[in-house]
Chains A and B, each alone.
Chain A
């Protein structure tokens, strides 16, 4: 079966005052139906640009230079803005943002905001006008109940500030699911939450994947969250996918030197807190060869000569490193 979402060889550049930044340079990922894919990388690696490219909301000055984004058998990159709005965003691809407070308008009632999304993006079930709205209210209340929002009927009449952080995130998960999407993209949805709340939300997301028949693209920088939630993992460094495959084998035996170095920084693993020497290369002047070569302990002359080939590690993960070619 073809994957639900498949990004291939995506190159995105952004024009800045200082020149053209190659933010994504050959990123690839595959999300199978019914699975949770964790996209992991440090700040500035291009995680957000990748999500924006998939949803077609790249910032001004950004350009897709190359690549394909296949979603349910269609290349999203050939869609027009209107088509994306009408047929893809919110209806077939739901989005859970990082900061639930920023995503909700403080001066409108929660119900009005969520129903607005459904008004434009919910699938047509024949009902019109007041009847359609009534059905939406019913579905929303059901969803909020499933999200364990207390008093779902009255919740619609309340304002965002009347909810706790965890509850606001539940509201936005309901909003993401309201129009029956196939794919849900979550951008670090639990970073702003406390651990016990984060645990509740992760538990909920895991259950929803099976219940609603969705696939989840989960962006995070926390390997602990990946270990507990995700089925597959895609590690991004400086705009390139460096290692991708099933989560547990990669965590057991990370193959790419960057994955190894990053996991060695995790307090659960670290023998000493050495960190990774050097810093992430500027997207304005990326190194010619392997992007990690300047910081890599195993780098050889060939590494800075050209782009490393795609290989396969012992555990079956795809690795972009000469050691596995």
Chain B
């Protein structure tokens, strides 16, 4: 029996919007996250994968406490930390920190990065100025930047360097879990490689656990221990990264893997192409959310919501049609 998960998310749902404002259009509420459960184990990298609007960022923000869940439970080290207003939730979940997708936008352009980095320490009660400076300098060199650069302003840094600043800022707060929201989007490939390298290195040095939110399947396959594929607010497939990439079982996962451009020199083909655009999360389907685009859907799929069921050790799939036999035949074909 392995150690209990550091973070447990149990049947969490998040509803967004639904406000009616003065002179504003009524916005119908959107079920951004629907009954999602996941476990994060100490030291692992769990990737949340999905296309825009699938709820992966909302789920990340909910875990962080910036967004309040409308149902479900969140347990940190076995203690419930859910159901709190954002401010209380952040206090209870200090060990969870978040790296923003756009590292530049998350920094104040009028503040030197030294001042920005120190502010976090100040808020968390490190009163002594010299100690703060010392810690900032040490952290800058830990993420591969010159300590002297603390006097510089955000615009003086390149995209890759800004990611490092963003990492330094949250690592100063000694987190145990880091939610990384598309940490390499918009970076050149050679820069992306160095940022990924740094992430792996920091995980070792500071014993971190990562929740990695991404849509880049090449990166996810290389980096993750486990993956969870999301579609319209639900996890449709989850399991060890190796198993999911070797034997994708949910039709959406299969479509996603077939669509991702890879280096293998395969040409674009009809194979695996899904029709249409992802539907809006505001549209509630009584059955499986993927039914309209699914190549193997049957009548039952539009009435019954599929639940996650195990197909192999730790590998779960929410699909009424992806039976165990199907997986077996796929595995056999892959081997042949």
Closest Cβ of chain B to A162, distance in Å, is: 13
What CA separation (Å) do A206 and B263 show in the bound complex?
A: 17
Give 1 or 0 for each of B171-202: 1 = CB within 8 Å of chain A CB.
Answer: 00000000000000000111111101100100
Out of A197, A227, A251, name the residue touching B277 (CB < 8 Å): A197
Known A-B contacts A194-B215, A196-B274, A268-B218; A275 and B263 likewise in contact (beta carbons under 8 Å): no
Query: By the criterion CB–CB under 8 Å, are B221 and A267 in contact?
Result: yes
What CA separation (Å) do A263 and B190 show in the bound complex?
A: 9
Known A-B contacts A195-B259, A224-B263, A228-B261; A276 and B221 likewise in contact (beta carbons under 8 Å): no
Known A-B contacts A43-B188, A275-B197, A276-B190; A202 and B261 likewise in contact (beta carbons under 8 Å): yes
A153 within 8 A of B: no
Out of B256, B264, B268, B270, name the residue touching A195 (CB < 8 Å): B256
B: interface residue count bin: 35 or more
A223-241 with Cβ < 8 A to chain B = 223-225, 227-229
A266 within 8 A of B: yes
A198 within 8 A of B: yes
B258 within 8 A of A: yes
The A interface, classified by DSSP as helix, strand, loop or mixed, is helix
Closest 8 CB pairs of A and B: A224-B261, A199-B259, A275-B194, A273-B197, A265-B193, A194-B51, A267-B218, A42-B188
What CA separation (Å) do A275 and B196 show in the bound complex?
A: 9
16 contacts across the A-B interface (CB closer than 8 A) = A194-B52, A196-B51, A198-B259, A200-B273, A202-B261, A206-B268, A227-B262, A227-B264, A228-B268, A229-B268, A262-B189, A267-B196, A267-B216, A267-B218, A274-B193, A275-B194
What CA separation (Å) do A166 and B192 show in the bound complex?
A: 26
A252 within 8 A of B: yes
Give 1 or 0 for each of B308-325: 1 = CB within 8 Å of chain A CB.
Answer: 000000000000000000
Interface centre among A196, A203, A229 (most CB of B within 10 A): A196
Query: By the criterion CB–CB under 8 Å, are B189 and A221 in contact?
Result: yes
By beta carbon, the residue of chain B nearest A41 is B188
A261 within 8 A of B: yes
Closest Cβ of chain B to A182, distance in Å, is: 23
Residues of B within 8 Å of A263, CB to CB, are 263
What CA separation (Å) do A130 and B190 show in the bound complex?
A: 54
B260 within 8 A of A: yes
Out of B158, B263, B270, B272, name the residue touching A268 (CB < 8 Å): B263
Known A-B contacts A199-B259, A224-B260, A267-B222; A275 and B277 likewise in contact (beta carbons under 8 Å): no
Known A-B contacts A167-B277, A195-B259, A200-B273; A268 and B189 likewise in contact (beta carbons under 8 Å): no
Out of A195, A202, A225, A265, name the residue touching B189 (CB < 8 Å): A265
B51-81 with Cβ < 8 A to chain A = 51-52
What CA separation (Å) do A167 and B243 show in the bound complex?
A: 34
By beta carbon, the residue of chain A nearest B277 is A164
What CA separation (Å) do A270 and B259 show in the bound complex?
A: 21
What CA separation (Å) do A263 and B262 show in the bound complex?
A: 12
B267 within 8 A of A: yes
B255 within 8 A of A: yes
By a beta-carbon cutoff of 8 Å, the part of chain A in contact with chain B is 42-43, 164, 166-167, 194-200, 202-203, 206, 221-225, 227-229, 248, 251-252, 261-263, 265-270, 272-276, 279
Query: By the criterion CB–CB under 8 Å, are B194 and A273 in contact?
Result: yes
By beta carbon, the residue of chain B nearest A248 is B265
What CA separation (Å) do A33 and B268 show in the bound complex?
A: 20
Query: By the criterion CB–CB under 8 Å, are A274 and B274 in contact?
Result: no
What CA separation (Å) do A251 and B216 show in the bound complex?
A: 20
Query: By the criterion CB–CB under 8 Å, are B265 and A265 in contact?
Result: no
Residues of A within 8 Å of B277, CB to CB, are 164, 166-167, 197
Query: By the criterion CB–CB under 8 Å, are A262 and B221 in contact?
Result: no
Interface centre among A42, A197, A199, A266 (most CB of B within 10 A): A199
Given contacts A42-B190, A164-B277, A268-B218, 5 further A-B contacts (CB under 8 A): A199-B261, A199-B273, A202-B268, A223-B263, A228-B267
Known A-B contacts A224-B262, A267-B219; A274 and B267 likewise in contact (beta carbons under 8 Å): no
Query: By the criterion CB–CB under 8 Å, are B264 and A274 in contact?
Result: no
Query: By the criterion CB–CB under 8 Å, are A195 and B266 in contact?
Result: no
Residues of B within 8 Å of A279, CB to CB, are 158
Query: By the criterion CB–CB under 8 Å, are A228 and B266 in contact?
Result: yes
What CA separation (Å) do A203 and B272 show in the bound complex?
A: 11
Residues of A within 8 Å of B51, CB to CB, are 194-197
Closest Cβ of chain A to B4, distance in Å, is: 31
Closest Cβ of chain A to B324, distance in Å, is: 26
What CA separation (Å) do A138 and B78 show in the bound complex?
A: 65
By beta carbon, the residue of chain A nearest B252 is A196
Query: By the criterion CB–CB under 8 Å, are A266 and B196 in contact?
Result: no
What CA separation (Å) do A276 and B277 show in the bound complex?
A: 37
Residues of A within 8 Å of B188, CB to CB, are 42-43, 221
What CA separation (Å) do A42 and B258 show in the bound complex?
A: 26
By beta carbon, the residue of chain A nearest B201 is A273
B278 within 8 A of A: yes
Query: By the criterion CB–CB under 8 Å, are A268 and B273 in contact?
Result: no
By beta carbon, the residue of chain B nearest A207 is B268
Residues of B within 8 Å of A262, CB to CB, are 189-190
Residues of A within 8 Å of B197, CB to CB, are 272-275
B221-275 with Cβ < 8 A to chain A = 221-223, 255-256, 258-270, 272-274
Known A-B contacts A194-B215, A195-B51, A206-B268; A266 and B260 likewise in contact (beta carbons under 8 Å): no
What CA separation (Å) do A43 and B192 show in the bound complex?
A: 13
What CA separation (Å) do A203 and B255 show in the bound complex?
A: 14
Known A-B contacts A267-B218, A270-B193; A251 and B263 likewise in contact (beta carbons under 8 Å): yes
